[in-house]
Amino acid sequence: MPDHPARFPGLSNDPATHVLTARQAARLAALAPVPAANLAGKKLADVAASLRPYIDPKLLVFRKICGQVVKTDAAGKDLPVPFATVTAYDIDLAFLAWSPTDSLYSWFFPFRVRREKLATVTTDECGRFCLWVPRFDVDYYLRWRLERRCYLTWLRKPSIEDLLRAREVIPHPQPDPGPIRLDERVLNHAARLIDPAAINRLREVATVARPGALNVEATAPMARAAFPIAARPPLTDEARATLGPATRAKLAARIGVPAEVLAKLDPHHGFGPFLRCIDVPVPQWSAVLDVPDLSFEVTQDVNADGVQEVIYSEGLFEVRWDATSIGDVTLRANASALAGPSCDIPDVGPCGEPAILFASNYPLQVGSIPSVYHDGSSGYALLPNRPDANGVPGEGARTEPAQAPFTEPFYLVGCAERPGATHYRVYHQIDGGSATFLNGSYGPLMKLVGGTLQQLVISPVEGQWYRIVPRSEGWTPVGILAPVLEGGDHLHTFKLEFGAAAPGGAITAIPGSQTPPVNLKIDATPPTVEFLALQWRHPDTSLAWQPLPVADCAVITRQGTARVQIRLALRISADHLRDFAVTPQGCGPMVAPQLITDGRNGLPVAAADAAAHWHTSASDNVQTRELYYELPAGSPAGCYHFLVFAATRAFRPTGVVSGPDPAVAWRIDTAPVYVYPRITVALQ
């Protein structure tokens, strides 16, 4: 979640004015000899003194819970939902849990929900919000789950990491867990469990673990919800029959609740999937009663009529009540919500001299000022995806500068306010060729006027002139100049020019108003992996290699159960190669082919970077390898795979960077442009 300061902050609730609800009063009365009737409806600040002799004073303070309201676009990107109202409710919930015996998941069917309003807050221009919850409430939610086996993990939405650990794709955490290694083996198995957008984001940060790597590289995508969109429960015919009105009495008797409590159960209104408990056996049907939790409702004025409509309604278990820390909450609004274009837009403050200052969130310093971020001549970024001293991922130290091209659609950001000007246009040259003008629309920008949410989409006039949107008008986000939607591998040059609109509407360029040019190297071309040769042999009987088809089904007809050696020759190339790695895999429990490094049977000794290499310089863009693998005697018949991951140095200039020194945080390893072909060999 972005963490730059909000230019238009949201509103949070004030702990000093918090009034105790009836349910909160009952919880406090259970801890202190004070009747609940003497507490309900009063400010906690007013009764705290009478409670302190009986209650741990830490329980009478407040704890901040923060989150973000987002809307997911067609490409799977989360966009911020600004200026929305978030209402938090203290709920008491009863539900029927359905846990199919052949599934890893559970679905919940509520049949009773009692709720009390706890707080109302609003989101800022990035969709962020924070609310204050009494510490004794947080303690109660957590303690309730800790006292019941499985509930701490069962009654919360699973993250990608939870799902991969449950499926044993990655190991369960140990007392001193090491870094999560996201190699091709892990990603190949993970692709069967989570959506393609999540896999792509994981693959971008799937760098080989190394000392000094930022934990956030893998932590952020691994913490994403495993199921961003709720999946309908796959009720079997037997399960549907069990939920029918005529059979609910039998179901109620089986789970030990009165039949009338299931009267309001709606079999079409199920929540999930949630990971089922694996610590203890879980019956297929079970009742879970009196669950305390915090739920949310989000509203927004989506049609500019001054009335807010519901864009997110009560979900289940949005807050992870963990014993150590409470993570941020992500609420995904429905399709009617109004989302901003991005929150990866830096606030450049008051406009000074007109200039292009950022590529989305990546700083660009131009003119005579030396930049640690960007080479104004070559157009390369100097910090992301730096070279490695010895080419061995995870061993050598990164060296500077990088030569990383930009990729993906992004915004030019800066200052486009100039006295006497009403419009600006963005000159655009590719590889020094003829000049054109950027002409893509952007927005919507938003602002609140008298409680009504207004929108503004900026489209160029005459195909080139953008209206100047002064900061003083109060639109957010501020500073967007134009979108850049470019592919290929080229040097792009941009500069601003200003114009003034005449009374008749014609726009005339202002002489001498062009800003200094900004060069950006953009490369969206993927690497190329060529499989040059695939051969095999029985080293114990013959050292002669037998060919296998590279582009067809390769089958090794083994003699008995003898050991087998495989030769794989390949060439990896890119305009801006970052790294590659070859990962052998077996199928199911089969042992993966082992890389031969010791020179056995007359083979060459393998270099340290033979099967995985990180570029050592800007010119290190082609690598050719001959790799030798061995399957030991007795290896089971079946399919074996050689996965190749190859990435370019191109990076996305998006994502808000935190920390006291952004230049440190931008020294990231991320690979949005990559390929991962494979070769499969069948062993008979």
Of 138, 142, 135, 131, the residue nearest 44 (C-alpha): 135
Query: What's the Cα-to-Cα distance from 572 to each of 459, 568, 636, 644, 647, rounded to whole Å?
Result: 42, 13, 31, 9, 10
Distance between start and end Cα atoms, the chain: 50
What was the pLDDT predicted at 211?
37
Whole-number pLDDT of residue 349? 77
Contacts of 245 (CB under 8 A, 6+ apart): none
Helix (H) or strand (E) holding 521: strand 518-523
pLDDT for 185:
67
**What digits encode the pLDDT tens for the residues 609-620?**
999 999 999 999
Summarised one tens digit per residue, pLDDT across range 533-571 is: 999 999 999 999 999 998 878 999 999 999 999 999 999
Angle at CA of residue 646, ends 640 and 652, nearest 5°: 140
Does domain 528-683 fall into CATH 3.40.140?
no
Tell me how far the alpha carbon of residue 293 is from its chain's centroid: 25
Task: Find out whether 330 and 68 touch, Cβ atoms under 8 Å.
Answer: yes
Output phi, psi for 559, to 5 deg.
Answer: -95, 110
- Other Cβ atoms closer than 10 A to 336: 12
Distance (Å, whole) CA 261 – CA 283:
19
What is the CB-side half-sphere exposure of residue 355 using CA atoms within 13 A?
Answer: 15
Write down the pTM of the prediction.
0.84
Model pLDDT, residue 205: 67
Residue pair 12/129 in contact by the 8 Å Cβ criterion:
yes
Would you list the domain boundaries of the chain?
A: 15-158+230-332, 161-222, 355-522, 528-683
Backbone conformation region of residue 588, classed left if phi is above 0, alpha if psi is from -120 to 50, else beta = left
Which of 387, 381, 377 is CA-nearest to residue 359? Answer: 381
Cis omega (within 30 of 0) on the bond before 273? yes
Question: What is the per-residue pLDDT for 1?
Answer: 40
Exposed, middle or buried: residue 13 (CB in 10 Å: 0-12, 13-18, 19+)? Answer: middle
Nearest CA to 647 out of 676, 607, 617, 627 is that of 676
Within 24-124, strands assigned E span 62-72, 78-80, 85-98, 105-122
Q: Which residues of the chain have pLDDT under 50?
A: 1-3, 175-176, 208-217, 368
Q: Report the 10 Å Cβ neighbour count for 187.
A: 20
